[in-house]
Structure 1
């Protein structure tokens, strides 16, 4: 893994390389978005793998299934800028590694497993111009940079996406290059792993058969993004009521109550340990052990308005500012339907037994 400062400019690689030893081109790069979505829904792509395995924080098996069934998330600025910056990140990769890259010809399908699809961001070329690897390009904010820097491997989701490209395309290795915070590039090389590839093909093949061919909908999963996805998937009908069997309702409620009890117990244990660390620090900001810092307890948290008002009531007016906010009450009165659409759906479970 290596890191460099990214220079300005955009790469201008060769276009349309069809090279993939174990795959063939099924859709050209200049196909319409509608054609691309149709092909993507018919198989498993690199961005689906981590979600199917439960290793993607923001996308789980349920969302993958809904997308294959026709759900389409609207394009947003993050997606558009990710695409726009691919050329810049590819140039940074070339400068960092000394390797040339080329734009692939489009969507590829595995020769023996036609459901296994891949859209490679860039091919990596050797000194003769032959394609030897796949390259995945990522644009990541400073907020998640710590997950990328100082590690020997890329985070799970992009690493699996690159391994999938290696598996489907038949390459000897792959790369992941990420632009961090808009000004740093980190690069990872991943060797072909036959054992991992066999497992990916097995797991994803079974998932494809069960959920795509047979059409069985996966249950709701624990991915962080699934809650927001479900809220977007279902438009609430305020007065609608759904009846479910009593045993199903009791089972879900009992499991939820048990998990909340476990979470509370773990939270209490965590607070106990952290309080012991605070007590050990006392009035010291830093606690060291040997040559390293064991932990710190510094006043770097959220500023407390309440505490400031209590300490310096004479200065409250001087440091008080006004901000523009939407008047939710007026929106509710004038535009009740819009108000409902803009409210988060809250899951409430009555304490009373059913």
Structure 2
């Protein structure tokens, strides 16, 4: 259901975006400095806690230039996206017949100057109005994120970006064109229209993030559901371990967190025992079927109501054992140093200690 628009909502739409800076030929470092003057469209998902790429805390550190997003690991993916952007835009124009054009500026909202927008393209629609065009690239497997229960959607983290841009630019429509293959047929086009209720909530949350966290230099809490994303964020901020650092004394808040963690670990053990039993039963039944198959790689069941085909094909993969790796290190240290990389990680463990006498 679309939200009802009242008079105040309509009046709020009587504005034009301001130009903060021209981006044509702007060096990347200067562009990043301007980005730190507010919240951009690609930042919106992190503010809402729905980004699969970074946390709100990461965004906070980036805005204060404390710890910038580590793009070194995915620089190829970022470079490919940049190189393909004109091609994907051309595909959109060819498939829709709409005229597209660039506006090489960083814009800001006139009422909320911390809301910024750096657009990929603009679209000239047949009725004389304009829309925004966002270019995306993904791989074949990830294209499923653009569907839900058989219906075309825009992933929520990209939707928040589009709605942020509509708010800044005072435009009512955003198109997304996402290329996942190497042909025109492997490009998806999606459209979202302005939702003032969503926009109002988005502005409120972004205002809170900017005014109560960035400006006051108060780190926001981790609210993301993805624990791996939080741990990766902490890894970037904390850095390598210091074995000589003194123990940290925990308080009541951390004790509550610790108690919940231990409770969940016990629950996980119970479920793991059940899973282990199921896995053993599955392997036992699998063994019975394999015994019947013998050396054959295929078995077929043709019943009156159901039919099944079982395959049991050989799989070969190259690898190196731990012993062979040690021999390589001893006998060919130059080759070992050239090809073997060592990574550091930290093991988290909880051990209950005996109570000390008062």
TM bucket by the smaller chain?
A: 0.7 to 0.9
Residue in 2 that maps onto 1:152: 152
Residue in 2 that maps onto 1:207: 209
Superposition map of 1:39-78 within 5 A: 39-70=34-65, 71-72=67-68, 73-74=70-71, 76-78=75-77
Distance 1:56 1:268, change over 3 A: farther
Task: List structure 1 runs of 4+ shifted beyond 4 angstroms.
Answer: 262-279, 281-286, 296-300, 319-331
Residue in 1 that maps onto 2:22: 28
Q: CA deviation at 1:95?
A: 1.5
Q: CA deviation at 1:268?
A: 7.0
Distance 1:187 1:211, change over 3 A: same
**Whole-angstrom distance in 2 between the partners of 1:133 and 1:272:** 56
Residue in 1 that maps onto 2:174: 174
Residue in 2 that maps onto 1:124: 123
Residue in 2 that maps onto 1:350: 350
Q: CA deviation at 1:352?
A: 2.5
**Whole-angstrom distance in 1 between the partners of 2:220 and 2:99:** 42
**Whole-angstrom distance in 1 between the partners of 2:180 and 2:269:** 36
**Whole-angstrom distance in 1 between the partners of 2:275 and 2:193:** 39
**Whole-angstrom distance in 2 between the partners of 1:230 and 1:22:** 40
TM-score by length of 2: 0.72
Gaps of 5+ in 1: 1-19, 306-318
Compare relative contact order (CA 8 Å, sep 6+) and give the higher one, 1 or 2.
1
8 Å contact 2:15–2:110 — kept in the other structure? no
Q: CA deviation at 1:239?
A: 2.3
**Whole-angstrom distance in 1 between the partners of 2:258 and 2:215:** 32
Q: CA deviation at 1:205?
A: 0.8
Instruction: Please state if 1:111 is matched with 2:110.
Output: yes
8 Å contact 2:209–2:220 — kept in the other structure? no
Distance 1:258 1:323, change over 3 A: closer
Distance 1:321 1:170, change over 3 A: closer
**Whole-angstrom distance in 1 between the partners of 2:169 and 2:159:** 15
RMSD: 4.3
Distance 1:126 1:231, change over 3 A: same
8 Å contact 1:210–1:216 — kept in the other structure? yes
Q: CA deviation at 1:209?
A: 1.1
8 Å contact 2:81–2:137 — kept in the other structure? yes
**Whole-angstrom distance in 1 between the partners of 2:154 and 2:280:** 34
8 Å contact 1:136–1:158 — kept in the other structure? no
Greater Cα offset, 192-201 or 322-331: 322-331
**Whole-angstrom distance in 1 between the partners of 2:300 and 2:220:** 49
Superposition map of 1:225-240 within 5 A: 225-240=229-244
Residue in 1 that maps onto 2:135: 137
Q: CA deviation at 1:269?
A: 7.6
Gaps of 5+ in 2: 1-13, 290-298
Q: Specify the SS of the correspondent of 2:106.
A: strand
